[in-house]
Structure formats: C-alpha cells, structure tokens
Amino acid sequence: MEKRDNNNITYTILLSLSLTHFMNDAFQSVLSAVYPILKDNLLLKFSQVGLITLVYQICASVFQPVFGFVFDKKPSPWYLVAGSASTCAGLFFLAYADSLFPVLVAVAIIGLGSSIIHPEASRLTHKASGGRHGLAQSIFQVGGNLGSSLGPLLVALIIAPYGQRYIVFFACAAFVAIFMKYHIFTWYGKMLKRIKTGTEPKAAVKANLLPRKTVVFSLCILLILIFSKYVYMASLTNFYTFYLIEKFGVTIQHSQFYLFAFLFAMALGTFVGGPVGDRIGRKYVIWVSILGTAPFTLLLPHVNLFWTCVLTIFIGFILSSAFSAILVYAQELMPSKVGLLSGLFFGTAFGIAGIAAAVLGNIADVRGIEYVYQICAFLPLLGIVTVFLPNVRLNRK
C-alpha cells in the first residue's frame, strides 16, 4: 500500500519522483559545472560555451511540450526509464568528447533525456498530489534543485582534480538510476491497468471559470515572468564560476563551492514557494519571488567576494520560489492539460536559458563577464507584470 494522508497524497510516490528529479538534475548540472574544464581542455571561447548550452537547452526544451502532449494522450510507465537511459548515454559520450562537435552531440542526448523526464515526472506528481498541487510540486522541485546544487560539488571533488574522463562515473550512476524507477513504474502501471478496466476512480477536474482570453493572457504573463527568472538564472548557472575566477581570482575548484552555495539556496527556496502558495495564493508568491529579488541583483556587481556569495544565496532562495507557484498557477488555468503545460513551462524555461546563455556568452566575449551581471541586474524588475494576473484563487482545496 502507498502511504497517503487524509488528502490522498501519495507521499512514497512523491518522494520517489523527487528522487528521480534529484538524480536527473544532478546529472544535468554536471554540464554547467564542467564548463571551465571543457573550456581549458578544448580551448573554447565564451561564445562556444554559450553554444554548448544553447544546443543542450534546445534539446531539453523544444521537445518538452511535444512529449508532454504525447504523455497526456498515450500514458505509459516506460517514459521515465527512457529518459534516464538517454541521460546515461549522453554523459558517457561527454566523458570522452575531445572536440566541440562530440560535446554538442553528447549534450543534445542529455537534453533529450531531460525533455522526457521533466514533463512526465511533473505530470505524475500532479496525479499523486491529492489536490495539494503546490505542496506536491514543491516536493518534486526541491529534489531537482538539490540535485542541481549537488552536481557542482561532486564536480569539484571528483572531476576538477582528476579530469574530464571522470564524468564516466556520473554515467554509471545514471545507469543505476534507471533501475531506481521500479517503484514508480509499478505504481503507474497498476494505475493504468485500473483505468483500462474502469476500476480507477477518476479525479474530479474542476472547470476553470475564467474566460478563454483571460487564460491566454495570464499564460503570456507567466511566460514573461519565466523569461525574467531564467535569463537571470542563466547568467549565474553558466557564468558565475567564470565571474568569480575573473573578478576575484578564485580557483576553478573553489568556484564550484560558491556555485554549490547558490544552487543549494535555490533548492531551499523551491520548497517554500509551493506550500506557501497553497495557503496565501500563488500570485503573492510570484510577486515576492521575482520583484523581491531586484534589490539583491542590482547590488551584486558592486560588492566584494564575501557579499557576492551572500547576495547570490539570497537571490537563489527568493527567485527559486517562483517556479512551483508559476507552474501550478498555469496548471490550474488549464487543469485538463497538465502534461502539456508542464512540458511548455519546463521547455520554455530551458529554451530561454539556452538562448540567454548563447547571447550572454557573446556579450562576455565582447564586453567582459562583469558587464553581463550589470545588464542582467535589471531583469527581476519585470516582475511588475504580475499585477496583471487575475487576483483569484484557482480551483484550490
């Protein structure tokens, strides 16, 4: 029997999905964490580092809405297994890539794995939530952010001292992760059998009462907020280590620890956004998490190393609380399209981050890495558009 509370939340499945997200994003975060190593080994420019991120993010974003749509229409317990297998293969190729093109192939394969896992795992999280969608998404998202924070730490301890080939250990871990999906596989397989035989009670899907134009307009506002959040996040996840190395002269290994601190703060902030949104309304969480980051981002380019670390921890904590609230807000606008919307928002986030990495990489080549943070500092001010979201509580228990 799956462990449930009075609201029928399947906690064992939520924790398993959070672990899936944790391992997937830990493997994915190896990419940005090894950028300084790849740059030195392959003599890459910042623009080429941006290109690597662009290829990865396109493969991890463009296909997500497509996969999400397919998963809604033709559910199967095998999708998560396929996603992990793709990630495993990509990491193996990355470990032995000796030029830019093999790296691009490897990150494309890794990106496809992510584009499968994110919408499917998010869709299953919604099914296991028992109606407490914000809490469930936060549990799911915190796993991903913890994984993202762990990746750079493992790179600092395993890859930085010994070299690129040691990425193969992450490929082996990804292979083991395939078999860790068994619990989710059997749970969802049984659910699908019950659905086919008509013995699975259908979850009540409340129709949204907002006009179609309002729903479309609200989705556009949410995508603007995703743009603001993920362009700024791209500046930190992809170029923060370079910024610390160039401005403050820290070592590659030490820069990974600073990146870990930022990403770990993101993980903590993610867990706050969902349940708080369940209680006080998601619009208020979005307000604080986007616009509330602006004072810290505006100060960041003008402080020393200690305060740079402190400010990025605050930025990571506050800004990361937005995504769970934004995603669940969108799902409640269109409750019958959970997989599609999960794919759309995860995909948009990844795509924006990829394009931003390529653009910011070129800016860094021309104007310097510090200039990147001077211009990106103003992005959280776009959070002001939250005022245009409907001030309602959407289908919440």
pLDDT band at residue 312, thresholds of 50, 70 and 90? very high
pLDDT band at residue 215, thresholds of 50, 70 and 90? confident
Residue 394 pLDDT more than 50?
no
How far from the centroid of its chain's Cα atoms is residue 81's Cα?
A: 19
Q: What is the CATH number of domain 11-388?
A: 1.20.1250.20
Question: Would you list the DSSP string of 333-371?
Answer: HSTT-HHHHHHHHHHHHHHHHHHHHHHHHHHHHHH-HHH
Distance between CA atoms of 323 and 316, rounded to whole angstroms? 12
Please report the pLDDT score of residue 198 as a whole number.
Answer: 66
Residue 304 pLDDT more than 90?
yes
Distance between CA atoms of 176 and 381, rounded to whole angstroms? 43
Please report the pLDDT score of residue 274 as a whole number.
Answer: 65
Neighbours of 288 (CB within 10 A): 17
pLDDT band at residue 268, thresholds of 50, 70 and 90? confident
What's the predicted TM-score (pTM) here?
A: 0.65
In 3D, which of 33, 309, 23 has the Cα closest to residue 154?
Answer: 33
Average pLDDT over every residue of 362-388 = 90
Distance between CA atoms of 388 and 205, rounded to whole angstroms? 26
User: How big is the CA angle at 185 (ends 189 and 330), to the nearest 5 degrees?
Assistant: 85
- What's the mean per-residue pLDDT of the chain? 80
Query: In the chain, what are the domain boundaries?
Result: 11-388
pLDDT in tens, 235-253: 887 788 889 999 999 988 7
Most distant CA atoms of the chain, gap in Å: 64
Distance between CA atoms of 186 and 181, rounded to whole angstroms? 9
Q: What are the distances in angstroms from CA 138 to CA 67, 134, 282?
A: 22, 6, 12
Residue 359 pLDDT more than 70?
yes
Average pLDDT over every residue of 177-202 = 77
